Amino acid sequence: MKHTIPHSQPGGAFHDMAEAVQTCVHCGFCLPTCPTYQELGQEMDTPRGRIVLMKEVLEGTLPLAQALPHVDRCLGCLACETACPSGVKYRDLISPFRDHIRKDRPRTSAEKLRRRMLLATLPHPGRFRFAARIGILTRPLHGLLPKALRPMLGLLPEKLPPAQILAPLYPAQCTRRARVALLAGCAQQVLAPEINAATIAVLTRCGVEVVIPQAQGCCGALAWHVGAGDEARAAARRNIAAFPQDVDAILTNAAGCGSGLHEYPLMLRGTPDEAAAQTFAHRVQDVSKFLDSLGIDPPPPMRSITVAYHDACHLSHAQGVRSAPRQLLQKIPGLVLKEVADADLCCGSAGTYNIDQPEIAAGLGQKKAASIAATGADYVVMGNIGCMTQITAHLRSHPRAPRVLHTMELLAMAFAGALK
């Protein structure tokens, strides 16, 4: 089937795709920052290579089947955007392209089953908790499962933490300085509900009233990044309606979710909801950026600890948040901050990438884990549940691996005096 870029829609997603294609000058600055190029060493597995492939598919000069393997290998980490001197908005191309070709792409029966399972479970905490429990119980039968389903089991923890029910409102513990609404997340509520608890504890201690919108749902990022645009747009509309107007900011504590919320205008480009999506996205902030801007008092004195900070791609590249988490961590007395080698390279998580492309993801995860272990830090902290899951899995093979925590967890422990 021939795909074209209809330039007659100046306000639509196709216009954005065409502009991204035309802006690329093929200089190659993106190559050293591209994880798949580092792993595979092939031109077609670079951002500029994929841009050429997608352009030719859209113009009808290349069969979709020839481009798909290379497009599918893209993590969507957006390190290429950080490196690009021409300002190519790669995010305006990769996810819209996957959405555009979703009906024409061939999938095996196992791939269809895996995709259905992921979209039907991960965005729904109740379903995901049930599926995760089944997965943990059936882990001994790992070898009997279809190969396409096995990677999911390897990422599950030994056991699930107890579920935590979030109240609609958490008052500030001192004079109120701000009022925010918090996105609770999906997988995070199941795999690490303590992250939300720590986030709320830190915010309220710092004088922030926290609202948990009860009608909120999945951010839609998972669906958007795998080309399920209809599901992503439905999620965006639901959250735009669910979050209140009388808050100073909409906060996220998962980089992938935050990036997804910021992409609502792209998801809803050319629809009647685009203006509302723009307004919504402008109110979204990562919790680390919000707290850094608000200002926090230092936690009480504690023993000296070393902490490595891992830059989640969808925080550093997609949202441009790099200094805020580090500045918050350096507020903790006695904390020595260590940088991780090759910090700009993705850990291989990237939503469902470690399930869809397990070999490449494993290679990236092993390298990232080795770099983190080499710091000799007591803790490694980050701002994304996907990274935490991936890095925890690959640190298991390191005998003196640091403890993996969310940035807000470490701050909450410091405020509570639990790091003494």
> Tell me: the pLDDT tens digits for 194-232?
999 999 999 999 999 999 999 999 999 999 998 999 999
Question: Which whole-number Å values give the CA distances from 43 to 9, 183, 350, in the listed order?
Answer: 31, 38, 21
Domains of the chain as residue ranges with CATH: 13-100 (1.10.1060.10), 109-154 (no CATH), 169-292 (1.20.1050), 298-415 (3.40.50.11810)
Interior/surface letters 46-72, b for 16+ CB within 10 angstroms, e for the rest:
bbbbbbbbbbbbbeeebebeebbebbe
Q: Say if strands 208-211 and 169-170 run parallel, antiparallel, or are unpaired.
A: antiparallel
Residues 6 or more apart whose CB falls under 8 angstroms from that of 371 comprise 340, 341, 342
Partnered with residue 338 across adjacent β-strands are 308
Distance CA 202, CA 196 (A): 10
Q: How does DSSP classify residue 145?
A: S
Cα-based torsion angle of the residue sequence 29, 35, 39, 44 in order, rounded to the nearest 10 degrees: -60
Q: For 42-48, what is the mean pLDDT?
A: 94
> Tell me: the pLDDT tens digits for 295-345?
999 999 888 999 999 999 999 999 999 999 999 999 999 999 999 999 999
Distance CA 35, CA 347 (A): 9
Distance CA 13, CA 140 (A): 46
Q: For 268-274, what is the mean pLDDT?
A: 94
Contact assessment for residue 70 and residue 343, using Cβ atoms and an 8 Å cutoff: no
SS3 state of residue 219: coil
Q: For 22-30, what is the mean pLDDT?
A: 88
The token pair that represents 328 in the structure block: 């918050």
pTM, full prediction: 0.91
State yes or no: pLDDT of 6 exceeds 50. no
Question: Which whole-number Å values give the CA distances from 111 to 15, 63, 81, 106, 139, in the listed order?
Answer: 31, 20, 30, 9, 20
State yes or no: pLDDT of 185 exceeds 90. yes
Distance CA 354, CA 159 (A): 20
State yes or no: pLDDT of 2 exceeds 50. no
Confidence at 102, pLDDT banded by 50, 70, 90: confident
Distance CA 85, CA 81 (A): 8
Contact assessment for residue 89 and residue 23, using Cβ atoms and an 8 Å cutoff: yes
Return the sign of the alpha-carbon dihedral for residues 190, 196, 198, 201.
Answer: negative
Between CA 394 and CA 392, with CA 335 as vertex, the angle to 5 degrees is: 10
Nearest residue to 313 via CA among 284, 338, 359, 349: 349
Conformation bin of residue 308: beta by default, left when phi > 0, alpha when psi is -120 to 50: beta
Residues 6 or more apart whose CB falls under 8 angstroms from that of 74 comprise 36, 45, 47, 50, 94
The token pair that represents 6 in the structure block: 């209809």
Distance CA 125, CA 222 (A): 14
